[in-house]
Amino acid sequence: MLRSIQWKLVSIYILLILLAMEVVGVYLVQSIEKYHVNKLSEDLDIKAQLLSGLAERYLYPVPNEQGMEDLVKLGQQAGTEVNYIVILDEIAGIITSNDETKFQKGQKLLTPEITQATFGREARDIREDPRSKIRYMYLAYPVKSGTRVVGIIYLISSMENIYKTIGDTKTVLFIATLIALLVTGVLGYALSKTITGPIQEVTRNAALLAQGNFDRKIQVRSNDEIGKLTGMFNFLTTRLKETMEEISDEKEKMEAILTNMADGVIALNSRGEIIHINPAARQMLSLEEDPTGKNFESALKDLFKINPEDFLGEDSRAREVLVKKDKVVIKSIIAPLKRESRIIGLILVLQDITKQFSLENMRKEFVANVSHELRTPLTTIKSYAETLLDGAMEEPSVARQFMGVINNEAERMTRLVNDLLELSRLDNKETRWDKKPVSPSALLKDVISKMTVSIRKKNLELETDILQPSPDIFADRDKIEQVFQNILSNAIKYTPEGGKIFIKLESMDGRVRIIFGDTGIGIPKEDLPRLFERFYRVDKTRSRELGGTGLGLSIAKEIVEAHDGSIAIDSELGRGTRVTILLPAVEESAVKNM
């Protein structure tokens, strides 16, 4: 507010009046003070001279105390009011006074002015009484007989009335100053309003104009400079409205196209600076926190290997660049932006091909894995079959051994094909579920009973902590049993002889938690996120030796999630693995109603 011209003018008026009143006030106060001090000084001089002429006869040749007492009384009655009248001898000793309590007879007064009076010189001083804090004027007047000083008239008069008068004067001046400032402020505001009012109106309308309101018109009230400014502003508003409407139509068309494009679009100027980036591009490049992309220019150039100078030639063409940013794969088409055969910038069209890229890689990896898993047993079967055909059939012991290998490899291929078919049914939602209330504790006992031989064979210690009775789960018994068997089988496979396996079942927050733990070889931390990928093996050679297909955990995860549950694996290399399965429990009331 104080920065406006109106308030600056008002402030200047007020300051000028304040300065004038202060100067006048200081001069007036000083003049009043000087006048009253001089007046008091003159009055004391007259009274001292009068008393001096009368006192001479009582002081010389022999002091007459009675006469001097009468003289003191006379001094109190005549002329200016004097607080204290003291008559001293020529050596400053008190002869008499109007206040014997304060000025005792025989006491010597050695003030600066009295000291000067003893030498025949009139002296005066103004100082504050330390006790009463009141200012007094002190006058020491010598009484002479010829040239000889025979006594001193000492007059003391309070200046309190003078300074009270000065204080009242200051109060009057202060009130007058306030009134003058108030009047000046009102008049100054009214005067400045006539100047700043039209300017403020133009400013307000200019702000509305900047916000897009082109329908405002300002009334021209005068033919002076401000009136001409107002008229020109109205003309500018009309022309600007017409131009902005044309630009807005084109802009809306372009913005609608760019905003709704699935592909990202980035425009660069000739210096390589970003001048436009659409929402799709911001999302691809993770620029939500910097919508303009201004802080991404250098990184963008490095990411897409952009060098504006490469596009300055007349034969410059669009280029295609494939880049990876974090986990996103982006295909970018970079083309020069031309105006009248002059390149003024670059256009980048971005396509997010992460899903296609990932699916293609998964397809290639899946085909490679399946081919590898099938080729290995097929190669073994073929080589053993050729050996049998080449004459090994004639040796029964060798033939029987070879046929056993062929049978094992065929069973391995069968397991792989069955697992693939199972995954295919799960992926395509073709699995037929036979869900009903199942006791997880009873199911675990059955699984443990079936695997007891394998556990004892490796001399493993089994520790169980199974809640009895446990809440039922709504599940396909065979599928959940398949999950439990797969996980327990892995624990047995990857736990060395003499190790320990523990199984725990507990109920928590309407869910059943089953934990399979072991003290086996463990899994490296970097492999944990990929354990549920199909055909993924931590130790491929050892997994194949133990008969795994690499699909067990993938199938287990699909089955558990189909039951609205979850499965997680925690492991530490060399210290064992812990698999946790969470399945929703069935409420007792629901079980009774089934």
In angstroms, the CA 181 to CA 389 distance is: 125
Which pLDDT does position 572 carry in this prediction?
87
Q: Are residues 440 and 423 in the same domain?
A: no
- Helix ranges restricted to H, 211-344: 225-259, 279-284, 297-304
DSSP state string for 536-569: --SSHHHHHHTT--S-HHHHHHHHHHHTT-EEEE
Pairing of strands 461-466, 500-508: parallel
Judge whether 268 lies within some domain: yes
Which pLDDT does position 293 carry in this prediction?
47
**Burial class of residue 53 in the structure, from the number of CB atoms within 10 Å of its CB (0-12 exposed, 13-18 middle, 19+ buried):** exposed
Nearest alpha-carbon partner for 74 in 98, 58, 90, 56: 98
Angle at 202 between CA 196 and CA 205, to 5 degrees: 140
Domain final residue, candidates 350, 381, 409: 350
Domain final residue, candidates 147, 165, 183: 165
Q: Are residues 448 and 565 in the same domain?
A: yes
3-state secondary structure of 150: strand
Judge whether 223 lies within some domain: no
Which pLDDT does position 291 carry in this prediction?
46
For residue 469, the domain's CATH number is 3.30.565.10
Q: Are residues 452 and 581 in the same domain?
A: yes
Domain final residue, candidates 350, 376, 403: 350
**Residue 67 corresponds to which tokens in the numbers above?**
């006469």
69 CA to centre of own chain = 89
Q: Are residues 9 and 150 in the same domain?
A: yes
Q: Are residues 144 and 44 in the same domain?
A: yes
Backbone angle region of 592, left / alpha / beta, with phi > 0 → left and psi within -120 to 50 → alpha: alpha
Range of the domain at 490: 435-592
Which pLDDT does position 549 carry in this prediction?
59
Nearest alpha-carbon partner for 492 in 482, 484, 500: 500
Q: Are residues 370 and 310 in the same domain?
A: no
Nearest alpha-carbon partner for 45 in 144, 137, 127: 137
Judge whether 140 lies within some domain: yes
Q: Are residues 389 and 533 in the same domain?
A: no
For residue 419, the domain's CATH number is 1.10.287.130
Judge whether 34 lies within some domain: yes
Beta-sheet strands, E only, within 428-499: 435-438, 461-466, 473-476
Average pLDDT, the chain: 79
Q: How far is CA 313 from CA 304, 316, 333, 336, in A?
A: 19, 5, 18, 10
Q: What does pLDDT average to in each consecutive run of 10 residues of the chain (594 residues)?
A: 67 85 89 89 86 79 73 70 85 85 86 88 89 88 86 89 88 89 82 70 73 70 71 78 79 76 76 76 67 56 64 63 74 75 75 74 66 72 79 78 79 72 69 85 89 88 86 88 88 89 89 91 84 68 52 82 89 89 75 47
Number of domains in the chain: 4
Q: Are residues 399 and 312 in the same domain?
A: no
Give the residues across from 507 on adjacent strands: 512
- Note whether 267 and 337 are within 8 A (CB): yes
Judge whether 66 lies within some domain: yes
User: Phi/psi of residue 554, each to 5°?
Assistant: -65, -45
- The amino acid present at 343, given as its one-letter code, is I
Nearest alpha-carbon partner for 334 in 322, 326, 352: 322
- Note whether 496 and 576 are within 8 A (CB): no
Judge whether 170 lies within some domain: no
Q: Are residues 362 and 267 in the same domain?
A: no
Which pLDDT does position 580 carry in this prediction?
92
Q: Are residues 100 and 47 in the same domain?
A: yes
Q: Are residues 62 and 13 in the same domain?
A: yes
Q: Are residues 292 and 390 in the same domain?
A: no
Judge whether 235 lies within some domain: no
For residue 300, the domain's CATH number is 3.30.450.20
In angstroms, the CA 48 to CA 122 distance is: 10
**Burial class of residue 64 in the structure, from the number of CB atoms within 10 Å of its CB (0-12 exposed, 13-18 middle, 19+ buried):** middle
In angstroms, the CA 27 to CA 6 distance is: 32
Judge whether 244 lies within some domain: no
